[in-house]
Chain A
Amino acid sequence: MTKHDIKSTFRYLWRNRLFTALNIVGLSIGISACWLVFSIVHYEFSFDKKTPDLQDIYQIVTEIKYEGEDHQSAGVNLGLAPLMEEQALDDALVVPVYQQYFERFIVAQNDGEKPVVVEEQDNVIGIRTSYFQLLPYEWISGNAQTAFQHPKSMVLTESKAKMLFPKDDISSILGRVVMADTAQYVVSGVVKNLSFPSSFQAQVFMPVRDAEWKPEWNSRNSAHLLFVKTKNAASLQFLLDAGQKRHQEIAGEAAAKFGYTSKFASMPLVEKHFNTKYNIDGLVAEKKVIYGLIAIGGFLLTLACINYINLSTAQVPQRAKEIGIRKTLGARPLSLTFDFLLETCCICLLSLFLSWPIVVLFRNLYPEFLPAGMEAYSNPWIIAAFLLILTLVITVFAGLYPSYLINKLRVIETLKGKVETRIQGTKLTLRKGLIVFQFIIAQFFIVGALIMAYQLNFTLTKDMGFSHDAVVTVRMPYKSYQNSDVDPALYKQALQKYPEIVKIAQGHEPQNQNHWGNIYDFAADTGRVQFNTPLKYIDKDFIDLYEIELLAGRNLKQTDTIHDVLINEAGIKALGLQSANDAIGKYLLQGEHKALPIVGVFKDFHQKSLRTQIEPLILVSSNNSGQLQTFHIKLPTDSKLWQKTFAIMEREWKTFYPEAPFEYQFADEKIKNLYETEHRTAKLIDLATAVTIFISCLGLFGLATLTAFQRTKEIGIRKVLGASVTGIVGLLSKDFVKVVLIAILIASPIAWWAMNKWLEDFAYRIEIQWWMFAIAGAMAIVTALITVSYQAIRAAMVNPVNSLRDE
């Protein structure tokens, strides 16, 4: 590579700045996509990989069979860990990891300063010292042997220690006290955070409590995880068998009675990060999604390369003279290929520079698409190596075909200016094929984005069966120090005095994905039947506030002793009753002693998202704040009064709940949040649509430029013979419209199929209409026409005297 080559390459790129810029922009999008996807993929696949003896570590899980269906639980019975620890030989390490819950941590400060308060403790676990043998923690102070000598001791990671002791040197906090709710814990050690992505995310470690170290075999909780590390497969099997045997002895009878079987099984830690069956912390990645991302990255890169090929082959005729001269002077095909690859490489490198801000921009605009914690573990060297290889691959992939064309040019003709302009003939050329391919993808995305937008709009505008306009909800305080024991009815009564509060009720949200349910007995004509139904606790003002229609009976009354029940139409059907009136006065029996009277029947409403059919539902009256959960407030119709209303609500709130933050949310907003995944997907698809349209247009622009150049003479002749500018623009554009039409024809059925699949997730959905395809098609054609028109008009405006002059 000589200085000469690089210099002339840059001069060439500068002279053709428009095409250079188009190429750089196109490729930088492809590179950015690959960059992002690689970062994600590399992060996800590096999970747990640096754990010492990774291959020897297993999580013990529970497999349950109930009513013919398989269920999985990541949790195990509390009895399993002590049993395994007792029976394990030296070759097996038993590591219980029990999730702990605390409302908040408080660290007192000297000199009357305000204490440090950290709310919402997650990542706190109860462990035995075996945990520190499993994972390679580096101790800043304290050590694994002495850390848990005292039952109320606590080991912190460096980051957590800094959070709890912001003003202290963290190497000197041993012996300091942390108030965890009402209990005092003493800091007995500080460890460095793990230096690699790990399934073990805990930040605070404390000894397993005595209450969790007992032979309990009848219940199971997904907060109780258990790991075993052993090189010996027989040893692992022995422990599993021992656990199974003990479980059978103690809980076997009860399991048989309720009709389920449960079995302990082992899952290798290697598989944990991609195993969605045992996902409890939301950390697990789906391989399907990862492969989808790789596909999108590959797709965008292919599109960008296609573009580069299109744009650079479009320029071959224009630069034919230069190539001819070089050949005449003795340039070998290899050296021409090299020159062209060098040019491609320069463009790739420039694109790489541009992709850096694009990547940063994407990270800021769409953080929700990147796994949390990715930044912390990103390895710049590996990313740099990847980008370098990517650049070389693109150089070769995108540069080879144009350099093949360059080598094919015949010298004599190029020197005479008689370039073989119709490089591939006039029929469906490779280049047109590539454009069709690009527009198929673009069209697919346009249709997808359009249909998603309609469906998501449908989820917001469909009649849910209850009125949610101008309703806000406020979560009742649930932490002990937030006065959560204060009767919520007091707050309700306080607000009812104000005319600005149109209505106020308490109870579950009318629509959300939470599941509360119970199994009741019902005395039907055919005998006692079991009625397994979801339920919502409400107060007597609830159905009035949400304008839920009563079909029979009366609203519920609120007393401390009787729990009135309202049931929906689907519930009536499930109970096998003929009409709404038949249900009134009947009872749902809970155990032997408790009977709930059905006092009314209400019209079905959507209690869950539109993904699912309306199921049976009962509304049960309650006075208990733990059951009611939420305040519902209907605001005045005039939104100008809302600020004042919120002020009233907050003022009253502070009198009852001074320690709890006042936070309200609109019911509309909550309903929208039910479709968060879909909104996220739609956001990504919108972005993909914009990007593919943009890239496709770059390619089309290149083709239009080439065509205009090729047909200069023809256009000149037509103009001499009397063609108008409009006529010529039409003539030139016609071909491109055809290309786009072919793409639309191919893409539409694919898009129809894919979107139907997507819509199948919704029990209530829009019908795909022909005009959606028409709109999408029109969008593609208009975009194509705008892209092409610049070159077409320019070509049509050329003075024929110039284009017809031939030396």
Chain B
Amino acid sequence: MIKITNLQKFYRTEEVETVALNDLNIHVQEGEFVAVMGPSGCGKSTLLNIIGLLDDLDEGSYVFNNVEVAKFNERKRSDLRKHNIGFVFQSFNLIDELTVFENVELPLIYTNVPAAERKKRVEEVLEKVQIMHRRNHFPQQLSGGQQQRVAVARAVVNNPKLILADEPTGNLDSSNGNEVMNLLTELNEAGTTIVMVTHSEHDAKFSDRVIRMLDGQVIMETTTV
């Protein structure tokens, strides 16, 4: 599903050029659950952003679902993203002005799903993450675990092929964290590909494969099962 070869990514300021990712190669199969680990600043978040088409790459190739997307413009990327990729962030990133229901509904609006259909799908997914009773609450009225469940619901409501999770349990206590990991595992078992950046060895155990990075390069890959 994801095939990245010889990826280079630099950050330039006026005087310094920093290599963020250096000649990186990654393959992710459809239906896989991959964890990316490494110390702060090793480039794992940059990698995740590139996979999620939020950032562009300087050199190399990125094939997503057999299509070369490295040179896509913003519009094409946005299209690809909204139909295929769901995001879960460490800091949840829910919109404060929208209720739980409306936050989850948002991706469906951007993909022009009709209102009746939207309502059905949002309710389904809210049931799935067991937050239906909070559907009319605003994010700041929820606990961290509940917020992250909403974020997961929002990530999957469009039935994306791929979910990108950036330290999804980073702001949660262990029991809430486990709940979220169980949710992700369930999704994976239902066929969704998951790429997750994490610091937690515990969370990494939920994945099929762990990619370890250092200084912008993959240094080790281990299969967990």
Q: Please report which residues of chain A, range 326-350, place their CB below 8 angstroms from some CB of chain B when the two chains form the complex.
A: 326-333, 335
Residues of A within 8 A of B97 (CB): 8, 11-12, 15, 322
Q: Is A807 an interface residue (CB 8 A)?
A: yes
Contact A330 B102 (CB under 8 A): no
Contact (A322, B107) CB under 8 Å given A329-B82, A332-B78: no
Contact (A322, B110) CB under 8 Å given A4-B102, A328-B81, A332-B75: no
- A411 CA / B82 CA spacing, docked (Å): 14
Partner among A321, A331, A412, A807 whose Cβ is within 8 Å of the Cβ of B49 = A412
Q: Is A417 an interface residue (CB 8 A)?
A: yes
B42 CB to closest chain A CB (Å) equals 16
B58 CB to closest chain A CB (Å) equals 15
In this complex, how many residues of chain A approach chain B with their Cβ under 8 Å: the count is 26
Q: What per-residue 1/0 map shows which CB atoms of B67-102 lie under 8 Å from chain A? A: 000000011001101110001011101111110001
Contact B110 A330 (CB under 8 A): yes
Contact A328 B95 (CB under 8 A): no
Contact B110 A331 (CB under 8 A): yes
Contact A322 B95 (CB under 8 A): yes
Contact B110 A335 (CB under 8 A): yes
Closest residue of chain B to A414 (Cβ to Cβ) is B93
Q: Is A593 an interface residue (CB 8 A)?
A: no
A403 CB to closest chain B CB (Å) equals 16
Residues of A within 8 A of B96 (CB): 15, 322
Contact B82 A415 (CB under 8 A): no
Residues of B within 8 A of A415 (CB): 54, 89, 91, 93
Residues of A within 8 A of B105 (CB): 4
Residues of B within 8 A of A374 (CB): none
Residues of B within 8 A of A7 (CB): 102
Contact B54 A330 (CB under 8 A): no
Contact A412 B55 (CB under 8 A): yes
Q: Is B1 an interface residue (CB 8 A)?
A: no
Contact B78 A321 (CB under 8 A): no
Q: What per-residue 1/0 map shows which CB atoms of A1-23 lie under 8 Å from chain B? A: 01010011001100100000000
- A807 CA / B95 CA spacing, docked (Å): 19
Partner among B52, B93, B102 whose Cβ is within 8 Å of the Cβ of A321 = B93
Residues of A within 8 A of B95 (CB): 8, 322, 325-326
Residues of B within 8 A of A416 (CB): 45
- A333 CA / B75 CA spacing, docked (Å): 9
Residues of A within 8 A of B55 (CB): 412
Residues of A within 8 A of B111 (CB): 330
Contact A411 B110 (CB under 8 A): no
Q: Is B109 an interface residue (CB 8 A)?
A: yes
Residues of A within 8 A of B94 (CB): 325
A5 CB to closest chain B CB (Å) equals 9
- A329 CA / B105 CA spacing, docked (Å): 11
Q: What per-residue 1/0 map shows which CB atoms of A51-67 lie under 8 Å from chain B? A: 00000000000000000
Partner among B45, B74, B110 whose Cβ is within 8 Å of the Cβ of A329 = B110
Contact A2 B81 (CB under 8 A): no
Q: What per-residue 1/0 map shows which CB atoms of A684-707 lie under 8 Å from chain B? A: 000000000000000000000000
- A611 CA / B96 CA spacing, docked (Å): 64
Q: Is B106 an interface residue (CB 8 A)?
A: yes
Taking Cβ atoms with an 8 Å cutoff, the residues of A that contact B are 2, 4, 7-8, 11-12, 15, 321-322, 324-333, 335, 411-412, 415-417, 807
Q: Which 9 A-B pairs have the closest CB atoms?
A: A330-B82, A330-B110, A11-B97, A12-B97, A329-B107, A8-B97, A325-B93, A322-B95, A411-B54
